[in-house]
A and B are shown apart, each in its own frame.
Chain A
Amino acid sequence: MEFKFEGRLKTASMVLMVIGVIALVGGFITDSSDHHQRWWANLLVNGFFYFAIALGALFFYALQYAAEVGWSAYIKRFFEAMYAYIPYGAAVILIVLLAGQFHAHHLYHWMDHTLYHEFMVVGSDGATTYSDTKEAGAVLNPNYDHIIANKSAYLGGWFFWLRTIVYIATFVIFARLFRKWSLQEDEVGGTKIHFMMYRRSALFLVFFAVFSSTLSWDWLMSIDTHWFSTLYGWYVFSGMWVGCMIFALVSLLYLRTKGYFQELNDSHVHDLAKWMFAISMLWAYLWFSQFMLIWYSNIPEEVTYFTQRIFTDYKVPFFIMFFINFAVPFYVMIARDAKRNPRFILPVAFLIFVGHFVDTYLLVIPGTMFDHNEFGFMEVGMFLGFLGLFVYVTFNALSKAPLIAKNHPFLQESQELHH
């Protein structure tokens, strides 16, 4: 059985994309902040948020193979469709990074290379040259930032770009290979391809374990350049994972009502909802672990991140976001019956999907917009526009292959899932 991407879903995703384009163009024109900072910051938020969901899907997919999971074999094509978005999301992030490198915006303070040199020489023609040693006629560089200068090897030069390229290349290559092998298995059958994917998934998880941490340092944590947290990577990673589970669960429930995935039973829904519930708790646990340790030790260099979010106007969304993403799934989804009932699942899923968007928003915005931030149509429109793009890419990829991987060795186990 193949999925046909048409009708209201396709129209809706198109409409969302049109809203997104209007928000992008209109937002860029009306954005009065310096260097269109607000526009670029929102592009990064949306680029990363949806990229992270697709990356979460790739991770979850590899996890299913590496752990030899049976129950998810029936729905694995949906995760393949989700990670088809990775190149698009990566492209948005690359545009933002490249624009930063060419100083079109100032999201990443460390991209300003005048910060790295202690001295400068102002020539007679007004041109300034920077140097690390005190040459004749040199004066102290007022822009010099010794904390950032100490990070120059990691952030300042080619190493940052090498990492960025390697992350994206690794994800795109693994995503393409998994998809290719999966489609091959449909035709060839047997267990040879399955065991090859089992080994390759384990290999991918090794890369992912490192890259998921370091990419969140590079692309998000470096916004707050003076600050660092070793927990940050896991915290961002848990956010991407829960975003992926929410999107998969809601979409599969939707597809079931439209006559696809008819063998998706309450036990599958229960398992997916358990993931959504459990990873919400993991996210809350990591959020709180990071917060509590910094709050308790109260060291000036560590608290900057939180003072920017708590002693400012971001305080209300910051704590409401945490409360919603933790308490709502905890108290609503804790019961077994709630995890099997779309009437409980859907409201919680929609709420925490927005909640996790706000989480990503608050990773980027306080360090880029400081206290000049505004929230308006541009933010909402871009969120909806990228949602439309994500839905379009995902469901378009879903329509390109049979919905059921018919030669997956665990398919029967998955179809008969019952607990």
Chain B
Amino acid sequence: MSKKVFHVMFDDEEKLMHSAEGLVEKGIKVKDVYSPFPIHGLDPIIGVKRTRLAIASFMYASTGTALALLGMWYFMISDWPMNIGGKPSFSLIENLPAFIPVTFEFSVLCGAHGMAITYLLRNGTLPGVPASNPDPRTTDDKFVMEITTDENHSMSSEDIEALVRDTDMIELSIKDYE
């Protein structure tokens, strides 16, 4: 049996949300939704797991804090001790206030860049990577719901198609894939 992927298009995010609710109630697993903007409240309906991006960001920022302090300790105190108006005076802990602004900025830098790069990698949207959304109109004003037979073994593709056609959709494309 060939695997099929359904791309169901909507012209309104509210219609998509309600349709998704109905489909999930009938036992269909929605794989993903392509949308030009975040749709609040959709994630729990289609069962998307909570993002762990925030945890990753916290770890990147903590790494930044540690790296900044280590770096400044090495540059200013260990390798070539600097004395600028009595501060820093050859001790990291005594001069901590002077190092806090740089530490803060470096933590933000690492946290923000780490988060952005992780996000792009995870979504496969790095510059130059071919677009993976099924229809270019999902970057404009249309919303596409993706359903695969692969994730819905309990139903035949005809059943899925019938259920999907029952919703408020405006377009349906069914493709085979391996």
Q: How many residues of B are counted as interface, with CB atoms below 8 angstroms from the partner's CB atoms?
A: 11
A419 to B58, CA, bound (A): 21
**Is A295 a contact partner of B40 (Cβ separation < 8 A)?**
no
- Whether A292 contacts B97 in the complex (CB less than 8 A), given A298-B86, A334-B58, A336-B54, comes out as yes
Bound: A336/B40 CA distance, A: 16
The residue on A at minimum CB distance from B101 is A292
State A165–B86 Cα separation when bound (angstroms). 46
Which of A296, A336, A418 has the most C-beta atoms of chain B within 10 angstroms of its own C-beta? A296
What chain B residues lie within 8 Å of A296 (beta carbons)? 87, 97-98
- Distance of A291 Cα from B41 Cα, bound (Å): 44
On whether A418 and B41 interact (CB within 8 A), knowing A296-B87, A336-B54, the answer reads yes
Interface pair A419/B98, CB less than 8 Å apart: no
Chain A: interface size category: 10 to 19
- Bound complex: CA A298 to CA B86 (Å): 10
Which B residues are CB-close (under 8 A) to A335? Answer: 54
Assuming the contacts A292-B97, A292-B100, asked whether A419 and B86 have C-beta atoms less than 8 A apart, the reply is no
Q: Which residues on the A side are within 8 Å of B85 (C-beta)?
A: 298
* Closest B residue by C-beta to A289: B101
Q: Is B40 a contact partner of A291 (Cβ separation < 8 A)?
A: no
* List of A residues within 8 angstroms of B86 by Cβ: 298
* Interface residue from B40, B87, B100 paired with A418 (Cβ < 8 Å): B40
B41 touches A292 (CB 8 A): no
| Residue on B nearest A291 in the bound complex, by CB | B97
Q: Is the CB of A295 within 8 A of B54?
A: no
A residues 143-164 in Cβ contact with B at 8 Å:
none
Cβ contacts A290-322/B at 8 Å (1 or 0 each): 011001101000000000000000000000000
**Chain A interface SS verdict (over half):** helix
Instruction: Please give the distance in Å from A176's CB to the nearest CB on chain B.
Output: 38
Residue of A nearest to B98 (CB): A296
CB-CB under 8 A from A336, the residues of chain B are 54
CB-CB < 8 A to A295: which residues of B?
97
A323 beta carbon closer than 8 Å to chain B: no
Produce 1/0 per residue, B84-122, CB < 8 A to A.
011100000000011011000000000000000000000
Residue-by-residue, is A376-394 near B (CB-CB < 8 Å gives 1, otherwise 0)? 0000000000000000000
Contacts of A334 in B (CB 8 A): 58
A288 within 8 A of B: yes
| Interface residues in B53-105 (C-beta closer than 8 Å to A) | 54, 58, 85-87, 97-98, 100-101
Assembled-state Cα–Cα distance A296/B41 (Å): 49
The contact string, 1 if C-beta is below 8 Å from chain B, for chain A 394-419, is 00000000000000000000000011
- Least distance between B11 CB and chain A CB atoms (Å): 23
A292-B98 contact given A298-B86, A418-B41, A419-B40, CB 8 Å threshold: yes
Assembled-state Cα–Cα distance A418/B43 (Å): 13
Q: In chain A between 256 and 312, which residues have their CB closer than 8 angstroms to a CB of chain B?
A: 288, 291-292, 295-296, 298
Q: Which A residue's beta carbon lies closest to that of B97?
A: A292
Binding site for A on B (CB under 8 A): 40-41, 54, 58, 85-87, 97-98, 100-101
Shortest 9 CB-CB contacts between residues of A and residues of B: A292-B97, A295-B97, A419-B40, A418-B41, A296-B98, A296-B87, A418-B40, A292-B100, A288-B100
> 17 new A-B pairs (CB below 8 Å) besides A292-B97, A418-B40, A418-B41?
A288-B97, A288-B100, A291-B97, A292-B98, A292-B100, A292-B101, A295-B97, A296-B87, A296-B97, A296-B98, A298-B85, A298-B86, A298-B87, A334-B58, A335-B54, A336-B54, A419-B40
A-B contact pairs, 20 of them (CB 8 A): A288-B97, A288-B100, A291-B97, A292-B97, A292-B98, A292-B100, A292-B101, A295-B97, A296-B87, A296-B97, A296-B98, A298-B85, A298-B86, A298-B87, A334-B58, A335-B54, A336-B54, A418-B40, A418-B41, A419-B40
